[in-house]
Amino acid sequence: MAPDETPESPSPEEAVPLTGKVREKLIETKQAWAREGRLLTGEAYPLGGTATRERLPPGQTLVKDWPVLDLGVQPDVARDRWRLRVEGLVQAPLRLTLDAFMALPQAELVNDIHCVTQWSRYDNRWQGVRARDLVEAARVKDEARFVAFTSYDGYTTNVPLAEFIRDEVLLAHSWEGRPLTRQHGGPVRVVIPRLYFWKSPKWVTRIELLREDRPGFWEVRGYHNNGDPWLEERYG
């Protein structure tokens, strides 16, 4: 699938209702931000000899709430209709119901999140399945190097496989001890805390292992392909 193609439609039993409509003006504004380099400070916190960084990335502002950001469309994914496919370059493709997902080994992790729109939130407590456990269950093939995500609202993004299988990466179903709300990506969302949060898609339904990289929605609209907050990889 090329970057601007529409993701394949779910089968009738997997289809979910969508509310709202894509906010084209918002997308145009964010593309303008990329062209203008908005929010860039010119600073960067690369790893030094001690392999430590400032906790708050450059240009970020700490918040206490959790802002709701999306493209204007929110899928209403009933828990009994949610499905997760893990496919592509794997030896054992997965197609999980929520019950099957919850039966996998569970983890609880605490981490910070950093949104490219300049806010950061510390000490988020998540419950879910580690990405590396999911990949191991699917028996990824040696030639796989990248991961592409598709969400129920049609959103896509991408990361290197090496980023996806880091210890702190989670497919989360709960936040602060409660099931994720629809607004924040429930029933299940990806959480990749080392990268800007657009790389952590809400409402995830498909994870595809790839040999070649496949940039997603924002990556083909002027945003950085990697998205490291400490290197200010907002745009690329």
- The per-residue pLDDT for range 105-164, each reduced to its tens digit, is 999 999 999 999 999 999 999 999 999 999 999 999 999 999 999 999 999 999 999 999
Residue with tokens 């990335």: 57
* Spatial distance between the Cα atoms of 177 and 174, rounded to a whole number of angstroms: 6
Burial 122-161, CB ≥16 within 10 A → b, else e: eebebbbbbbebbbebbebeeebebbbbbbbbbbbbbbeb
Task: Supply the pTM of this predicted model.
Answer: 0.90
Q: How is the chain split into domains, by residue range? A: 19-231
Residue with tokens 């949610």: 82
Q: Provide the terminal-to-terminal Cα distance of the chain, rounded to the nearest Å.
A: 22
Residues 6+ apart with CB under 8 A from 217: 71, 155, 156, 157
CATH topology for 19-231 is Sulfite Oxidase; Chain A, domain 2 (3.90.420)
41-89 residue pLDDT tens: 999 887 755 556 789 999 999 999 999 988 878 899 999 999 999 999 9
